[in-house]
Chain A
Amino acid sequence: MSAVPGLREDCEELLGAFQQADTVRFERFAELWRERRFHTIFYGRIRALERNKLAKKTLELAQQYFFPPYSFQIRVGALYLLYGLYNAQLCQPKQKIRIALKDWPEIQKFQQDLLDSQHYDAAYIFMRLRLARAFHFTAMPKLLTYRTKKKIEENYFKEEFKDPSNRVNSLITNDVLEELMNIHDHYQKMKCVISADKSQPDKALSLIKDDFVVSLKDITLEHQEWQQNRMKLLRNAKVTPEAENKKKEETLLESEGSERANALARIKYKSYSAVVEVSRSRRHRQVQLESSESGSSCGKSPSRSKKASRTPQPARRGEMQVAEETVTRHIGMPVITEEDSGE
């Protein structure tokens, strides 16, 4: 099915505002909803057949935000959004929300979380939807249609709504840590058993740090905190009005991947621009550095220092300056900066 134009933007705007509000209370969501008068989204002279299709597409779009990997707050927001859209639709009988069989355990877990953390308003909203028979229990999440698509739409996840993908945490889970502790204890005991002194392992057998499990846990916690702080910074950076220093924001908003790419690009640039100075006997055949970058002037390799670099283009100069500034704003993550050596 082709998408409803503008709908994704509106939903994301509403969910974004809800995320900014940093609460999961329904009153707050209802205020935001009323501000935007979101119930008018179904207005406009639409005939019955088209109305049904529109309602179906709207509910399908909204229910995507209800599942992982979106963060908890976004999921609660999606629940409220679904409730609002389901009640605001003008079709008779109402179009239903499709939930696939594989997603039900997650939803039940989600509901349990809501009850445990005492978000009773969200749980109440969910019960209201169940009682109103608003769900279709289907085998597959998307209803299939058979028209050849002009272009394949890719699955699109808004970066900021996602829970920060915590790869470190998913590797070093609590279970893994517990097991490590157990194995460590067992190992210590074995060492005691085979050494002469039964209460303490031999000095010769101490090959590892005794408290490595604890320090591993500390390191992962640190990493998680760093990531959360970084996400907060990114979000705040987006919210501050477009000020003069657009470049600053741009570099801030680069994700980890492009930082690394930039660092790699800088290293490559350094290595390619370092030209060996030939010996004096072949002075007439100095090596000339040809740069593929536009606007750079090819010249003889001048200075003796190994870190000889071309005069960087204005853009790169700006970037490098900014890169230095970002050192102070990022927490802990090292940034490779180039020395700005003149020609």
Chain B
Amino acid sequence: SIDMLMSSEKEEDPDVIPEDSSLLTLRIRKKALERREETIIVDRACRQETLTYEMESHATGKRPDNPTDLIEEGELLLTLNIFYPVIFQKHKDHKPYQTVLVLGSQKLTELRDSISCVSDLQIGGEFSSQPDQAPEHISKDLYKSAFFYFEGIFYNDKRYPECRDLSRTIIEWSESHDRGYENLQSLKMEDYVFNDLSLKIGFPYLYCHQGNCEHIIIITDIRLIHHDDCLDRNLYPLLVKKHWLCTRKCFVCKMYTARWVTNRDSLAPEDPCFFCDVCFRMLHYDAEGNKLGEFLAYPYVDPGIFN
């Protein structure tokens, strides 16, 4: 009966703003709507908006098939903003970031595995002479070290024997002179879960991998898990928001995403120049596969590859 007091009696269409409203909010909104109707020809959600909405809400309410994967009450849910390392001029006011939801009981390594950065996929080396032999090994497999920096402690990834302690240089540097940083420690990433850490909300922390690819991490929210959240443990860390980066297209066909970049290319109009695979081979190699002209070619991975 309490609910009845709130809603109105007759059927109403929530899309129509009532004419004689006493609410200032509605009057303002009505004017904005009318303006929109005049100026916009087709008024529907663009694909970026659909993507954002889908990402935010695709996991709400999900339950796992396996009951052991159910998240219990009292679990903490952290919201992290992980900033991209790209630096473009157009981003100087709003640096692009992805938002990830992480459970308190998850290990730091799980977060590390879920961060997708374009520098992980880079392939090093110049391959103008042997385009077909571009190796399959991406940087992610070659340089496995990474660390997180939270509150004065470096958490290094030591799961594989190739992983090195990247933070050692920093610790040695801070200890060499009295630079005003209190003792920085170095610990193993795989031994800790988020519940063990003491964190500040809104304070920038660091994730470093590949030796010099650094991402700023900011924690925006910590809250208890809720009935309406996704309760399937396997889906966490969950990506809820991603920045859409426009991919660079091939210079020739302007259709496919660039896969090769050339420098000092006598056949290309600009330096550097981007090509998709097909156009690259057609332009730079003849039917037998011989190299035409002088150039340096590198495999290129576009930052927008995760769109």
Q: Which residues of A contact B (CB under 8 A)?
A: 4-7, 9-10, 26-27, 30, 33-45, 47-49, 52, 84, 87-88, 90, 93-94, 96, 98, 124-125, 128, 133, 136-140, 143-148
Contact = CB atoms under 8 A, between A and B. Distances in A.
16 contacts: A4-B25, A5-B28, A6-B28, A33-B5, A34-B5, A37-B21, A37-B22, A43-B12, A43-B15, A49-B56, A94-B228, A96-B228, A98-B223, A137-B223, A137-B224, A148-B93
A88 B23 CA distance: 15
A173 to B, nearest CB: 34
A41 B45 contact: no
B304 to A, nearest CB: 21
A58 to B, nearest CB: 9
B238 interface: no
A140 B15 contact: no
Chain A CB within 10 Å, residue with most, of B29, B30, B52, B224: B29
Interface stretch (B131-139, B168-176, B214-222, B264-272): B214-222
Give the interface size class of chain B.
35 or more
B202 A144 contact: yes
A93 B60 contact: yes
Given A37-B21, A138-B221, A93 B8 contact: no
A9 B24 contact: yes
B25 A41 contact: yes
A39 B223 CA distance: 29
Nearest to A85: B6
A146 B18 contact: no
Given A49-B52, A87-B6, A40 B226 contact: no
A42 to B, nearest CB: 7
Nearest to A86: B6
A52 B241 CA distance: 14
B200 to A, nearest CB: 10
Contacts of A48: 45, 53, 57
B87 interface: no
Given A33-B5, A43-B15, 12 more contacts: A4-B25, A6-B26, A35-B22, A37-B23, A39-B7, A44-B15, A49-B45, A98-B223, A125-B2, A133-B228, A140-B201, A146-B220
Contact of B14 (A5, A43, A140, A145): A43
Given A26-B2, A44-B17, A49-B56, A39 B224 contact: no
Nearest to A148: B93
Given A47-B49, A49-B56, A147-B94, A40 B17 contact: yes
B16 interface: yes
B142 to A, nearest CB: 32
A57 to B, nearest CB: 11
B156 interface: no
B81 interface: yes
A146 B218 contact: yes
Contact of A87 (B3, B12, B223, B227): B3
Interface in B28-44: 28-30, 33, 43
Contact of B18 (A40, A133, A139): A40
B27 interface: yes
B33 A45 contact: yes
A35 B57 CA distance: 35
Contact of A146 (B22, B33, B97): B97
A27 B226 CA distance: 31
Contact of B56 (A44, A52, A124, A145): A52
Contact of B223 (A4, A26, A138): A138
B61 interface: yes
B159 interface: no
Contacts of A40: 12, 17-18, 21, 23, 26
Contacts of B25: 4-7, 9-10, 41
B57 to A, nearest CB: 8
A44 B2 contact: no
Contacts of A37: 8, 18, 21-23
Contacts of B224: 136-138
B8 A39 contact: yes
Contacts of A136: 223-224, 226
A140 B221 contact: yes
A225 B201 CA distance: 44
A124 B1 CA distance: 12
Contacts of B61: 93
A158 to B, nearest CB: 15
B254 interface: no
A93 B22 CA distance: 28
A43 B14 CA distance: 5
B223 A139 contact: yes
B95 interface: yes
B206 to A, nearest CB: 16
Nearest to B222: A139
Please indicate which of the listed interface residues B6, B45, B61, B94 has the most CB atoms of chain A within 10 Å of its own CB.
Answer: B6
A326 B76 CA distance: 59
A44 B61 CA distance: 27
Contacts of B201: 139-140, 144
A263 to B, nearest CB: 38
Interface in B125-178: none
A124 B30 CA distance: 36
B94 to A, nearest CB: 5
A133 B60 CA distance: 15
A95 to B, nearest CB: 10
Which of the listed residues B14, B25, B218, B222 has the most CB atoms from chain A within 10 Å of its own CB? B25
Query: Which of A52, A125, A140 is the most central at the interface, judged by chain B CB atoms within 10 Å of its CB?
Result: A140
A35 B21 CA distance: 10
Given A37-B21, A49-B45, A44 B30 contact: yes
A44 B33 contact: yes
Contacts of A94: 228
Contacts of B218: 144, 146
